[in-house]
Amino acid sequence: MATSVEKALPASALETLRRLPSLPVCVLDVIRSLGDPGIDAHGLAVKIARDPGLTASVLRVANSPFYGLSREVASVQDAVIVLGLGSVRTLALVAGVSAHLAATGGALDRRRFWRRCFMVGEVARALARRVRQDPETAATAGLFFDIGQLVLDVCLPERYAAVLTQHAQDDRLLIEAERAEFGFDRAQIGAAALENWNFPEAIVRAVRFGHDPERRAAKPLKDLVAAADILVEALDRGVACEALGSSLPADLRTRLNLPSDLTGLLAGESLTAAADRILSG
């Protein structure tokens, strides 16, 4: 049965989605925990520990200098207690998805892709704290905001490589180039993939509509990830923190009640180190 997001997709997008490899059961279990308010350290640890590779990835990052722990973490449950449930779940989700989809694909630079995903997730987390929304939900939505790029790279590698090449040579937005080539874009196909993987509806909708920052939303999660994506793009262009807020559309900035000077709010650079360690082996 088609999901609610799939019903809005053209037939070519549905065919693309069918080429996407299924995620391992343990990763799907971790995803389902996003919608379980009763999940605790033991419950999450049990889900992750079912996959030795996933466990090893989480422990490797948890014991890296990045986190600066005073003692070595020997189990996933210890990692959850020391680092927090949200951080460990994020590490497990990225490790699981990146490892399972690493063997296939075309021209997309995976390390650069995940580094940017971590940045958007961390900026979304910081913004959520400021506007008193759930930071872990915002971080997860930001982390998977552009997952549609990975879907396109895995399912249509040659065509997406051509899109990336053409995009580097013209002034069109990448999402416009995707629509011109495929008849749909990474937001649509990414949201459909997340829905198939049973991500919470709020995250699915934020990914689906977050690339349209002018669109008003009933809930702030879509605005948070849209703003995070724009701010990371501005950081990539070298915009200083004190001028970052001015990069946002005025209406979006007003809805989130953000100042133009965001110095001290954003601290995502260290997250790229975590991304590197997840992808290193």
Q: Could you tell me the pTM of the whole model?
A: 0.87
Query: Is the same domain home to 75 and 131?
Result: no
Q: pLDDT-based confidence at 103, cuts 50/70/90?
A: low
pLDDT tens-digit series, residues 145-156: 999 999 999 989
pLDDT tens-digit series, residues 86-100: 888 988 998 888 888
Query: What average pLDDT does range 74-92 have in this prediction?
Result: 88
User: Residues 201, 206, 209, 215: is their CA dihedral positive or negative?
Assistant: positive
Q: pLDDT-based confidence at 237, cuts 50/70/90?
A: confident
Give me the helices (H) in 156-268, please: 157-167, 174-182, 186-196, 201-209, 221-236, 250-256
Determine the pLDDT at residue 105.
Answer: 65
The proportion of the chain whose per-residue pLDDT surpasses 90, expressed as a percent, equals 33
pLDDT tens-digit series, residues 12-41: 788 888 888 888 899 999 999 998 889 988
Token pair for residue 169?
Answer: 């040579």
- What distance in Å separates the CA atoms of residue 268 and residue 185, rounded to the nearest whole number? 27
CATH code: domain of residue 147: 1.10.3210.10
Query: Is the same domain home to 145 and 204?
Result: yes
- The last residue of one of the domains, among 52, 72, 100, is 100
Find the helix or strand (DSSP H, E) in which 70 lies: none
Query: Is the same domain home to 33 and 131?
Result: no
Query: Is the same domain home to 9 and 44?
Result: no
Give the HSE-up count for residue 161: Cα atoms under 13 Å, Cβ half-sphere.
Answer: 9
Query: Is the same domain home to 17 and 79?
Result: no
- Domain tally for the chain? 2
250 contact partners, CB below 8 Å, separation of at least 6: none
What average pLDDT does the chain have?
84
> In terms of pLDDT, which residue wins out, 39 or 101?
39
Determine the pLDDT at residue 280.
Answer: 59
pLDDT tens-digit series, residues 242-255: 788 888 888 888 88
pLDDT tens-digit series, residues 48-69: 999 998 899 888 878 877 677 7
pLDDT winner (highest mean) among 79-83, 161-165, 170-174, 258-262? 161-165
Query: Is the same domain home to 130 and 260?
Result: yes
* Res 270 pLDDT > 90: no
Q: pLDDT-based confidence at 3, cuts 50/70/90?
A: low
Q: In the 3-class helix/strand/coil scheme, how is 88-124 assigned residue by residue? A: HHHHHHHHHHHHHCCCCCCCCCHHHHHHHHHHHHHHH
Domain that holds residue 40: 23-100
Token pair for residue 213?
Answer: 């920052």
Residue 120, amino acid: V
Nearest to 97 by CA among 150, 135, 61: 150
Query: Is the same domain home to 113 and 13?
Result: yes
- The last residue of one of the domains, among 61, 83, 100, is 100
Give me the helices (H) in 50-200, please: 52-62, 76-83, 85-100, 110-130, 135-143, 147-155, 157-167, 174-182, 186-196
Query: Is the same domain home to 59 and 159?
Result: no
- What distance in Å separates the CA atoms of residue 198 and residue 113, rounded to the nearest whole number? 22
CB count within 10 Å of CB 37 equals 6
Query: Is the same domain home to 8 and 134?
Result: yes
Determine the pLDDT at residue 104.
Answer: 67
- The last residue of one of the domains, among 76, 100, 124, is 100
Query: Is the same domain home to 141 and 275?
Result: yes
pLDDT tens-digit series, residues 194-227: 999 999 999 999 999 998 877 776 678 999 999 9
Query: Is the same domain home to 113 and 174?
Result: yes
Q: pLDDT-based confidence at 268, cuts 50/70/90?
A: very low
Query: Is the same domain home to 146 and 266?
Result: yes
- What distance in Å separates the CA atoms of residue 155 and residue 106, rounded to the nearest whole number? 9
* Res 84 pLDDT > 60: yes
